[in-house]
Amino acid sequence: MLVLIIGGTLGAFRNWFLAGLAGFVGGLLGGVLGYVQQIVSQGGIEFSGQVWSIIFLEFFGNNFAFLAIATILSGVLGPILTRQAVRRLLGGDGGSIALDDPRRFSEAVDKVALVRIPAANLDEAQLTHIDREPVDRDRAAEQWESYVELLEQYGWETREVAAAETMADSVFTEDQVVMIGEVAVLARSGSPERRAEQPGVRAALADSGLVVEEIEAPATLDGGDVLLVGDTVYVGSSSRTNGDGIAALRRIVGALGYRVVAVPVAGALHLKTVATALPDGTILAWTDGVPDLSLLGRVIAVPEAAGASVLPLDGETVLVSAAAPKTQQLVARLGYRVESLDVSEFEKLEGGVTCLSARVFG
């Protein structure tokens, strides 16, 4: 039982394999301890190698069924009970929020990224703060493939959202959903035209096992405005995310033990256009885009606007745009391995290395 409790605390029951392994180890140790207790209570028997052999051979004889049942039940029931626990913390099986409950839930999660192939009309994507430049769609497709390959190289499981050939901005999946631990928050974009992208993302989450919450009108929220650093969720107050959206996210993630800090954004599409975090929690920021840097805690100013949007690939490696060589040098001096990727066709559309995927936080 103790093994199962420890396994559950460490998040082992998130998937069937780890849950089954915890059940196997728990069943094995439980059986061994049971035999040891019997031998000790009888007295007069020494724990020789022969005695230990007899004990363990029992698991291939009379107790094999017990061990198999413990393994199978843990593997099957563990993930189910984990999901139910999260749903209870969020106020019920239907996923509605019970705002007056003091709830806390936090655990490590797998590295999962939702990606979506660029649309045929990518060059028609919306622009808010920069002038339009010609977009090479073939080159964009190559850059996207390189991006996905790099994620997979660093151990990310990429799940492809169904293509949306007529939705120019759909490649920027980060804006549609915020995933923190066991919860996926479906966003509601401040751009009405982008809300048509939502059904495809919802479908991609259908078999993910995540508890799904939604941002509802009149609230608006883009995932590109959400930056997780430790137990703090920074949310950009931008043209795409309004006060109601910030409040709605605060209610949801507050129930999971996170605090939300609203950060005004100036002259940029999203918060993560101008500020992202290194694996140690230090924030890299383009200072022109964040009027009040004191809200962000530990901040280092980057020398290039394109360098403000970086993506940690693991605890030691950071992806930096090829358009930000000085920021690459800065990150390397801070002790990180740097991966560089050309995403220039997406940068022409106010995109970057973070917004091309929606990732599980944790």
At 69 the pLDDT is 72
Neighbours of 211 (CB within 10 A): 22
Question: Tell me: the pLDDT tens digits for 338-355?
Answer: 999 999 999 999 999 999
Under the banding of pLDDT at 50, 70 and 90, the label for residue 77 is: low
At 1 the pLDDT is 52
Neighbours of 193 (CB within 10 A): 11
Does 223 score more than 50 pLDDT?
yes
**Is 93 annotated among the ligand-binding residues?**
no
Q: Identify whether 270 is a catalytic site residue.
A: yes
Q: What mean pLDDT is predicted for residues 262-267? A: 98
**Is 127 annotated among the ligand-binding residues?**
yes
Active-site residue, selected from the candidate residues 14, 270, 348, 359: 270
Under the banding of pLDDT at 50, 70 and 90, the label for residue 260 is: very high
Active-site residue, selected from the candidate residues 355, 356, 358, 360: 355
Under the banding of pLDDT at 50, 70 and 90, the label for residue 362 is: very low
Under the banding of pLDDT at 50, 70 and 90, the label for residue 107 is: very low
Question: Tell me: the pLDDT tens digits for 267-279?
Answer: 999 999 999 999 9
Mean pLDDT computed over every residue of the chain = 84
**Is 159 annotated among the ligand-binding residues?**
no
Q: Identify whether 129 is a catalytic site residue.
A: no
Enter the tokens of residue 353: 């290395």
Does 252 score more than 90 pLDDT?
yes
Q: What mean pLDDT is predicted for residues 228-252? A: 98
Q: What mean pLDDT is predicted for residues 149-178? A: 98
At 72 the pLDDT is 73
Residue ranges of domains in the chain, CATH in brackets: 2-89 (no CATH), 112-361 (3.75.10.10)
CA pair distance 10, 216, nearest whole angstrom: 33
